[in-house]
Each structure stands twice: as C-alpha cells, then as structure tokens.
Structure 1
Amino acid sequence: MKGSTIEHRHAKGRAAREHMKRSAHRQIGDLSRDPLGPLREQSARHAPRLAALHHARMASSPLAFFLGSAALHAHDLSRVPYTGMLVPISGNAHLLNFGGFVTAERELAFELDAFDEAAMGPWEWDVKRLVVSLVLAARQRKLSSRAAEDLVMSAVAQYRDRMRQYAQYGAIDLWHENITFDRMIESALTPEARRVIRRSLEKGAVGTLGSALHTLVDRTPHGFAWRNFPPTLFRAEHAAPLFAADEGAFEEGGDWRSVIEPMWQQYRETLAYDRRALLDQFTLQDLTFQLEIENGASRDFVLLCTDHHDKPLFLQAREAHPSAIARYVGDGSPRTLTARHHGERVAMAQRLLQATRDVFAGWTSSTAQRPFHVRELREKKLAANVDLFDSMLLESYARLCGWALARTHAKASGEAIEIAAYMGRSDQFPQSLAAYARTYADQAERDYDVFLAACRSGKLETRSDNDIAADTFRAPPS
C-alpha cells in the first residue's frame, strides 16, 4: 500500500469484512478427516527416533499435543474462509512459544520465539492458534468455561487495542517497539500478578548461559568440552544413534569438525560484515546435540565458542523443514518469506518478526544438504508454567501474548492500519474468536484421543526420554 493515504488504507481493512465477516471467524469447517494423516506427513520428515520422542512428548496432554501439531491445525484452518490479508506470521503462536528473554543489550523483553513454520499467511491464523492454546491451558488447570472465555477475550481485546495503537505509529517507531520488563509489569492485571512476574524476571535476570559455563562444560588441555546432560544435551559421539547414517562423523572417534567447519563457513557468509567481524573473534570449541523438540522433531545442536577471555557464545543450529503454513496458502505478493533454503526462511522470519535483535541469526547446510537455521541460544526467563498459574496470572499472561502478537504482526507487515480497521472497536471479533477457540479446542481434544490411541496401539511409535538416554548410553557389544 505504498503511496496510499491513511483513509484508503482504513477503507481497505474495512472492505476485507465483505470477503470475511468478523462473525464468520467462529467457523471451524468440516473436520471429518483422519487427524493422523497430517501428523504422519509431519513425522516423515524427521529421524525416526526423534519423531518417536516427539510423539511421546505430545502424548502428555491435549495442550502438548496442540503445540506439536501445527501441521494439523494449518490443514484445518485452510478449510475455512480467511480474510485474504496475508502478512508474515509465525505459524505456531501457541502460548508456550512466548516468553521473556534477555536481549543482546542485556535487557529483558517479552515476545514470540517460534519461527519454524513461519510463512506469509492470514494474520488471524496466528491469533486463532493462540486462543485455542489458551482454552486448552484453562482446561488443563480445570478452570471454568467462563474463565477460559475470559482468557480469550482478554488476549484478543489486547491484540485489537494494541493494533489500533500501532496503527498510529510511524514506521521507525514501530520497528523499534519492544515489550520491556517495566512495560510487562505495568500490563499485569493485579498487584499479585505484578509481584509474581517481577519475581520471575528478576530471578531470571541473575544468571545467563555464560555464567553457567562451569556447569555445562569441562576445561581440557585443548580448550573446553561439553558434558552430557541427558535427556536434553548429548555429546556428539553419544547422539550418533539418534541421527541418520550420513552423520557418521559424529560417531565416537569421528571427526565432527569435518562436518561443522564447512557449515560454519557457509553460515558466516550469511551474516552482515560487522557481524562476521564479531563472529571471527570467537573460537569454535565443541558441539553438543540438543533434544528440545516440543515444536518438532528436528536435528538440533549447540556450538560452544569462546573469545580471547574464555567468555562463551552459544549458537543453536536447528534443522529447518518446509513450513506447514506455506503449503496451504497461495501468495502472489512480492513480499514473501519464500526461500529455496528453509534455514534462510526461518532466519529471515526471526529477523523480521522479533523485536529483539539477534546479531547471529543466519543459516547453513549440512554435508548431507540438510538446511539449518542458526541463532544465538537464549534463556527463557519468563515462561507459561500452566500447572502453576492461577486464573488471574494466566489472564495476565494471555494479555501479554496478545500484545506481543500484535507487535509482531504490526512490525513485520507494516499493515497495522488495515488489520486494525478490519477488527474495528467492537467486541465482535473477540467474541467470534472465543466461540472458535471453544469449538476447536473440543476438536483438538478429540484428535488427541485418536492420537493417544494410535500411540498405545503401536500405530505411531513413541519413545520416552529414558528410552532415548538408554539408546545413546547403551553398553557396547562384547
């Protein structure tokens, strides 16, 4: 909409209601499908043992199942009308993918932190994913249906109101908008919620990955080496059974540097000149494989680098797969997140959607030509511990998520005016989303039951964290 007047942009947003009425967002469509189909397609992209562990994590609750089944939800969203207003979206705006993080400036900020599924898509798909997760969280806490509806109304009303606010921002102001520690505290609904959030953040601000270096690694005659921390972190030689045969260099005695160094050089070239200069001040010491697969069963590893004072830098390389969103959305826009390299797509999405800058966001490919997204590994200082949140604290968190999602969409799209005009000032859009969230949460619970039965019958393989640890540390044959 370059060159359009504010009035024309408002008119465009309101005109989208003719294509998709706000009341129509309560529809979930015909869902007479086998939920295992999209899940099997999703699992087929991953190493079998990691997919089996992913299934086990998903089986713990409907909320965990919904977190790990973005492909299924994308399939269902594509079966109902949408606004046609396509913007860069996360694709998995589940409440567990939001959090408070330490920024590059060593401040605390709250935002969305999941970009594996990022693509151009209808902005409301992210909102719908958030609100369904809120209802499932309320049910996990055994809150009333009224309390669950209040959560959704609070989150969507916050999204609507913040989007109206951002529609008044200049482009530079919006680009630098950030949800800081103090603003998080101000947004809490009650004094008690403010105290809980403040305690969580102040406690989290004390330690960093760097300060924990001595607990994670050992000093050796040749530098530093990772320790094993199963079932989360595994040294390369112990993680080899989890991965395909073409990562043979990670087996005991293998030369893992022969795999990593070409990846490192490719990654380095994706950074701007000043960031390459910064990266060059670090020495690569060791790698460890990471099992953090609630969002998907990808091959992930963490690189330990140190500078001349032995100060550490932790870089996470996460395998990137095709977006579950992109396959369902046709996009003729010249502003897309489409890329031949899926690691590049994820890195571009992170740079575009996040407010806090990661100077190390980039991409590379393995010797087996698997695409990876690389970023600095950050500690989450504030997360949704659903089992400990009461209704008021969960509502405060829901408001934070709605705010963060509005900031994400407004910054990435530059279309806050159009989105705000579409939603308007009334509660019609929040009420429709509340109805959608309730009905689709019912469907998600039915899908979870089907999934759980398939896991128990052996139709879908599952392996627990203990199984994986036993695989990797099994005694060698005599």
Structure 2
Amino acid sequence: MKQQKIALPNQLWTSDSIDLTSHRYQGKLLKKADGLALGKAQRKTHPRQNLADLSQRPKNTNALTIYDWSNQGRLEHLKPIRAKRMSVSAFTFYRGMPALMLFDQAWEPQHSGLFQQICGDCHLSNFGGFASPERNLLFGINDFDETLVAPFEWDLKRLATSFVIAAQDIGLSERAGLKAVKIMLNSYRTHLTEHTKLSPLQVWYEKVDASTLLKSTECQKLRKKRAKHLDRAEKRTTHSLLPKLTEQDPETGSRHFIDEPPLLWHPQVDEPFAKDADEFFKDYRDSLKYERRILFDRYQLTDVAMKVVGVGSVGTRSAIALFEDADREPLILQMKEACPSILSPLFLERVAHEGERVVHGQQLMQAASDIFLGFSRIEQQFHVRQLRDMKISVDLQDMDEAYFHEYAESCGFALAHAHAKAGNADVVMGYLGEGDGIVETLQCYAMASSERNLEDYQLFMNEISDEKIAVAGDDVL
C-alpha cells in the first residue's frame, strides 16, 4: 500500500544543530568544560523560553489526518480494537497516537538544536521495570517503537505533558500535575548533573535498580506499594505465563497457544508466520550476539500465534512464539512489527530496517537490554524480545498524589540516565541550566499541549459518536 503523504517541514537539522551522539564538535572530542560552555552558547541561538511554543499545524491537517495516516497498513479487523482502547480517556488517546505529537514537534517554531537518540514516545506509562541479563529488576524506559535521533527535549516535553494529562485522568488537581512536572525536571537535572561527574565508562555501567528506588522511599505506605509492585514484576516470567497462554498436549507433552479471538489466534494462511516462520527465526538468530545465538540454539520452535498488544500498537502485526528445549523448558518471544516513523522523510540517514532502528535505539538508551533483543523480517519488519520478562508498568489508578509525585521523580532519574548514555550530559546541562526558567517553560508547554490533546480527543470521540470510526466492545479492554 502506498503511504499517505503528510506535510512535513523541509528539514529538522540546520547548520547550527549539534550532534550529541558523536561527542565531537568541529572534529574534536568534547571536554566536560567545553561541553558545558557549548550548551550555554546554544541558548543564544535557541532560546529556552521559546520551547514553550506549540506548533501551528499545516492547513487541512488535524488529529484525524494523523490518525488516518497511522492506520495505514494495519490489519482492518483490529482497527476497531485500537479505536476502543484509545477512546477510554484523553490519556489513552495520548498514548495511542505518538505520531501526532512527533508531527507537532517537527512543526514547532523552535527547538534546542541538540540532537541525540531519544525514546520518541516518552510518556509515564512507558517507564517501568524490566529484567537485566543478570536477572536484576531495573527501572527505566521500556518501549522504543518510536525511537529516533531528534532534539533531546522532545522526550522531556512528551513526559511532562503526560503527567499533566494523567493527573487529570486519575482525579488529581492541575496543581498536582504541574508539581509532578517540576519534580520530574528537577530530578532529571539533578541526576544529569551527577552523570557529568562520571567517565563515559561509568555512565555506561550505571543502572537504575528498582530495589534502590524502593529503599529511597521514606513513606511507609509508598514502600508497601512499591514492594508489592516489585514482587509482582519478579514473578512475571515465562513460567508464569504458560498456564494463561498455553495448554499441553497430553500425548506429546508439547504445549501450544490457546486461541482467544479477537486478541489471540493462530495465523491464517495470508497472515505473517503462517509460513516461513523458520526462515524468520534463522535471520533473527543472525541479529543476536554470538553467545546468545548459541543459547538460542538450545530451543526449538513449537508454536506461533498472533497477539494484540498495547494501545498504539493495535492493528500492527504482533505475534508470540513458543520455543521449548529438549526437556520442554519454555521460552516465549514476542515479535512486533516495526513501522516507519512519521518523521522518516526527515531522517538524515535512510533506515534500512525498522526493527534494527528500534533495537539499536533501545540498546543505546537502556541500562541493560533483553538478551534476546533482535530483529528480522518476513514481508514486514519486526523487532523481537522476550514476552513480559519481568516487564511491568505502574497502575495509574492505584496512585495517590504522593505516589504520583514520587513516580515523577523516578522517571526523571531514569530519563537522565538514558539521555546521558545516549548523548552528552555536559552539553544538555549547559543548555538547561539550574534555575526555574526551564521548569516554568516546560510547565507552560505541558499545559498547552494537554489542552490540545483534549481538543483532539474530543474531535476523535465526535467521529466515534457520528459512527465514522468503528469501535469494538468493552471485552477488548
């Protein structure tokens, strides 16, 4: 299918933009002091107060235009499920269409000019626990479908806006939402400053351990909630999923997935993985590090099923694969279709494989990545990882104001590490500074962006009311 064209700026990168991923400026490695000075100098050409300004969308382009664009190529019978999940609240709408904010950010009149690898969909529900190769529970960003090289503050803007929208969603005050933004930004700057004192290797070895966050929680009520959350995450392993997703053949002892349409089903003849699955995993194996290929060789594919996941991913091709070793010990992998970013036409370098884009962004920004993180393709391009291996996100509805604000602090901490690992903490801190100016700027942005999101959500809901967008029933939530 030919991709619908969306009006985009001529370029994002300009002559005064700086690539923070190279750690060089004008051909020379940046010293810490030089990086700090460079960031401060960037304020003159890219004033921080201008970051508060929202974009003006091109003529005849609105949220529905981007929604239609984002639905291209998705499976038709799953589009009503996506619409239903997005319709639940203004926050699920915000989560369900990251392309809309990326599009708006591309048209913003000003950005920092400081480019690095960013998450691209940095909202608070995309933070959570995940397993390190050593089986420790880490905290950080755990979704990189939209990762790209772009101005570093785009992550801050999306995260700040998500706290304002989420506060409204769970019945907290506007003041509580704005306070969360301030806490998150101050945490981000505090921990980014700490990273400026470390060597590159020390930054690389740093990790945000979930148990450390628990120990730093002084409130007993919050400690109990976080301890419960930690315990739940550690139990989310392949073995815990088996009774829910599979059943065992009494004769052969082999397991297979249980069909539960419309959310889980075995692929039909015209769907991915109905054939060529072995070839897919052969190519996937080649994307793994050498020692992990040898580990992967101990397993054999026994079943594949299509599975609906998330909110924004619904309708793209997502599947799970069951592998077993010779003693029936299981491994479950998830394959998610990796689609081009709405900003792909603006990329300086052409992306050869969208799955590889996701994997490389995740490896660069996460403290430690899934040992089975890889990529492959059939007709579509996919990235692959273990299914729910200690991966967990917080339940917003379980949050009171105190928990909400502590979570904002944790997200700021984790984002600082991701940005320091992927970019240059000295330059970013030189640009942001230590005063309240940047906090007030991004609070203003978050308020304006949340108001725009609410308007877009209402437009979306009007289309549903007018039966122009089909929605599934409550059973898909």
TM-score normalised by the chain length of structure 2: 0.88
Greater CA drift, 63-72 or 398-407: 398-407
Query: For each residue in 1:364-383, what CA deviation from the matched residue of structure 2 results, as whole angstroms up to 9, or x when unmatched?
Result: 111xx211111112245652
Written as runs of structure 1 = structure 2, the 5 A alignment for 1:207-226 is 207-220=236-249, 221-222=251-252, 223-226=254-257
1:279 matched residue in structure 2: 296
Greater CA drift, 386-395 or 454-463: 454-463
- Structure 2 residue matching 1:172: 3-state secondary structure: helix
Deviation of residue 451 (structure 1)? 0.6
Answer yes or no: is 1:391 the counterpart of 2:425.
Answer: no
Greater CA drift, 191-200 or 393-402: 191-200
Answer yes or no: is 1:417 the counterpart of 2:447.
Answer: no
1:473 matched residue in structure 2: none
Deviation of residue 109 (structure 1)? 1.0
Answer yes or no: is 1:56 the counterpart of 2:66.
Answer: no
Deviation of residue 62 (structure 1)? 0.2
Matching residue's letter, 2:381: P
Deviation of residue 189 (structure 1)? 6.1
Deviation of residue 169 (structure 1)? 1.4
Deviation of residue 460 (structure 1)? 2.4
Written as runs of structure 1 = structure 2, the 5 A alignment for 1:210-249 is 210-220=239-249, 221-222=251-252, 223-230=254-261, 232=263, 234-237=264-267, 240=268, 246-247=270-271
- Structure 1 residue matching 2:328: 3-state secondary structure: coil
1:17 matched residue in structure 2: 43
- 2: CA distance between counterparts of 1:382 and 1:376? 13
Aligned pair in 2 of structure 1 residues 101, 157: CA closer, same or farther (>3 Å)? same
Select 2:371's aligned residue among 359, 370, 373: 359
Greater CA drift, 292-301 or 154-163: 292-301
Matching residue's letter, 1:279: F
Deviation of residue 230 (structure 1)? 4.9
Contact 1:132 1:440 (8 Å CA) reproduced: yes
Answer yes or no: is 1:321 the counterpart of 2:335.
Answer: no
Answer yes or no: is 1:76 the counterpart of 2:94.
Answer: no
Matching residue's letter, 2:300: T
- 2: CA distance between counterparts of 1:306 and 1:176? 33
Deviation of residue 187 (structure 1)? 4.2
- Structure 2 residue matching 1:285: 3-state secondary structure: strand
Deviation of residue 117 (structure 1)? 0.9
Deviation of residue 300 (structure 1)? 0.6
Contact 1:118 1:349 (8 Å CA) reproduced: yes
Select 1:93's aligned residue among 87, 101, 122: 122
Deviation of residue 465 (structure 1)? 5.9
Matching residue's letter, 1:246: D
Matching residue's letter, 2:299: F
Query: For each residue in 1:80-128, what CA deviation from the matched residue of structure 2 results, as whole angstroms up to 9, or x when unmatched?
Result: 2111111011110111111112332221111111111111011110111
- Structure 2 residue matching 1:152: 3-state secondary structure: helix
Greater CA drift, 19-28 or 389-398: 19-28
Aligned pair in 2 of structure 1 residues 356, 230: CA closer, same or farther (>3 Å)? farther
- What root-mean-square deviation, in Å, do the aligned CA atoms of Structure 1 and Structure 2 show? 2.1
- 2: CA distance between counterparts of 1:465 and 1:262? 37
Written as runs of structure 1 = structure 2, the 5 A alignment for 1:139-158 is 139-158=168-187
Q: Which runs of 5+ in 2 are unaligned?
A: 1-23
Deviation of residue 231 (structure 1)? 5.3
1:428 matched residue in structure 2: 437
1:301 matched residue in structure 2: 319
Select 1:28's aligned residue among 54, 57, 66: 54
Greater CA drift, 188-197 or 401-410: 188-197
- Structure 1 residue matching 2:270: 3-state secondary structure: helix
Contact 2:137 2:211 (8 Å CA) reproduced: no
Query: For each residue in 1:139-178, what CA deviation from the matched residue of structure 2 results, as whole angstroms up to 9, or x when unmatched?
Result: 1122222111101101111111111111111111111211
Matching residue's letter, 2:419: H
1:161 matched residue in structure 2: 190
- Structure 1 residue matching 2:321: 3-state secondary structure: strand
Deviation of residue 206 (structure 1)? 3.6
Deviation of residue 209 (structure 1)? 2.4
TM-score normalised by the chain length of structure 1: 0.88
Answer yes or no: is 1:376 the counterpart of 2:406.
Answer: no
- 2: CA distance between counterparts of 1:231 and 1:192? 39
Contact 2:128 2:141 (8 Å CA) reproduced: yes
1:176 matched residue in structure 2: 205
Percent identity (aligned): 29
Matching residue's letter, 2:225: V
Matching residue's letter, 1:35: A
Contact 2:130 2:142 (8 Å CA) reproduced: no
- 1: CA distance between counterparts of 2:319 and 2:89? 27
Aligned residue pairs total 445
Contact 2:375 2:382 (8 Å CA) reproduced: yes
Answer yes or no: is 1:406 the counterpart of 2:416.
Answer: yes
2:12 matched residue in structure 1: none
Select 1:340's aligned residue among 332, 340, 352: 352
Answer yes or no: is 1:137 the counterpart of 2:137.
Answer: no
Contact 1:102 1:381 (8 Å CA) reproduced: yes
Contact 1:45 1:321 (8 Å CA) reproduced: no
2:4 matched residue in structure 1: none
Contact 1:187 1:400 (8 Å CA) reproduced: no
Select 2:67's aligned residue among 32, 35, 39: 39
